[in-house]
């Protein structure tokens, strides 16, 4: 996996404690490509083709920046305006970023308790980064909700935290970021996140039960245990379905939410479930219906 860090600090050599440490630690890793925007483009004239080429090669993209007025430094915003163009990043033909992961790594000066409704910044940090999340949505990137941010990263003479404290926070931040990136470069994390993002499916079962007591003891309860171990949500299991139209002859109805079609298939065809499926069909019921429905996708309209 190729990792690209878009680094944006207007004066990292002289005006930063935390971001300078993070930059130095990133640069120690030859397999992490870092593009320092303010070093590359001090005149703000961005080479769009070069930046788009770097994005094409990347699997994981990191925005590393200090929190400036609840957003990012000016050059990073201009970079987004200039580089993430229609036909490249979004639109009917703009699919170059599809499937790439976007990770935010942000240093924040204000204390953690200031970013809440009764704090002087009023809103959560998560609220302020929503534009980045929507940028990922529009460009079909995978936005990492577990973005990395650290408080107490301020460098204003007279009001900043002790330098040693800021340095310690920065090293911890850098270590966490690099650990995350190395995990992604191995491919393991990306695969897990891809699996987690697969669309859920709904299982609707209509069963004509012969006798409830043996059905529940020999089939229902053991299978519920298997489902819970697999992370399946049991949305409904009832004999009291209200019939509003048509006929509904079955005596027991269940509605489950599986994390994905693959998860359902693995369960349905598993050796653990096979004997229960057999006894349900042959001994405990008069039959019934089983259907699988995909989750509603508004993009399909």
Give pLDDT, residue 246.
87
Give pLDDT, residue 146.
84
Structure tokens at 139: 């460009």
- Is 129 a residue whose pLDDT tops 70? yes
Confidence of residue 196 (pLDDT cuts 50, 70, 90): low
Quick count: other Cβ atoms within 10 Å of Cβ 98? 12
Confidence of residue 14 (pLDDT cuts 50, 70, 90): confident
Give pLDDT, residue 193.
54
- 252-258 and 201-209 beta bridge pairing: antiparallel
Give pLDDT, residue 60.
94
What is the torsional sign of CA 214, 218, 222, 224?
negative
Mean pLDDT to the nearest integer, 95-99: 93
Give pLDDT, residue 92.
84
Mean pLDDT of the chain: 89
- How many percent of the chain have pLDDT more than 90? 61
pLDDT-wise least confident of 74-88, 149-163, 231-245: 149-163
- Is 13 a residue whose pLDDT tops 70? yes
Give pLDDT, residue 76.
97
- How many percent of the chain have pLDDT more than 70? 92
Confidence of residue 159 (pLDDT cuts 50, 70, 90): low
| Domains of the chain in sequence order | 3-195 (3.40.50.360), 198-300 (3.30.70.100)
Mean pLDDT to the nearest integer, 139-146: 91
Distance (Å, whole) CA 294 – CA 261: 8
Which tens digits make up the pLDDT trace of 164-188? Answer: 888 888 899 999 999 888 887 776 5
Structure tokens at 111: 């204390």
Q: What angle do CA 281, 285, 287 make, to 5 degrees?
A: 70
Distance (Å, whole) CA 284 – CA 276: 10
Give pLDDT, residue 191.
54
């Amino acid at each position: 996996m190729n990792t690209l860090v878009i680094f944006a600090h207007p004066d990292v050599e002289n005006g930063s404690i935390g971001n300078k440490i993070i930059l130095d630690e990133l640069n120690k890793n030859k397999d992490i490509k870092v593009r320092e925007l303010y070093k590359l483009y001090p005149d703000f004239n961005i080479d769009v083709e070069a930046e788009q080429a770097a994005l094409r090669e990347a699997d994981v993209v990191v925005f590393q920046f200090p929190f400036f007025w609840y957003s990012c430094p000016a050059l990073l915003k201009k970079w987004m305006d200039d580089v993430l163009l229609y036909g490249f990043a979004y639109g009917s033909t703009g699919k170059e970023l599809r499937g790439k992961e976007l990770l935010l790594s942000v240093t924040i000066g204000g204390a953690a308790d200031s970013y809440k409704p009764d704090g002087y910044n009023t809103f959560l940090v998560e609220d302020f980064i929503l534009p980045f999340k929507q940028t990922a949505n529009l460009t079909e990137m995978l936005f990492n909700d577990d973005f990395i941010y650290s408080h107490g990263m301020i460098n204003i003479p007279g009001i900043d935290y002790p330098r040693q404290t800021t340095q310690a926070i920065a090293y911890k931040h850098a270590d966490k970021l690099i650990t995350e990136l190395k995990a992604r470069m191995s491919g393991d994390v990306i695969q897990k996140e891809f699996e987690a993002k697969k669309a859920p499916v709904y299982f609707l079962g209509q069963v004509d039960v012969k006798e409830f007591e043996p059905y529940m003891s020999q089939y229902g309860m053991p299978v519920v245990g298997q489902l819970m171990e697999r992370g399946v949500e049991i949305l409904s299991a009832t004999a009291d379905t209200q019939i509003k139209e048509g006929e509904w002859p079955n005596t027991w109805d269940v509605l489950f939410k599986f994390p994905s079609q693959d998860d359902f298939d693995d369960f349905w065809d598993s050796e653990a479930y096979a004997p229960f499926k057999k006894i349900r069909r042959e001994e405990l019921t008069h039959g019934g219906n089983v259907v699988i429905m995909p989750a509603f996708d508004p993009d399909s309209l």
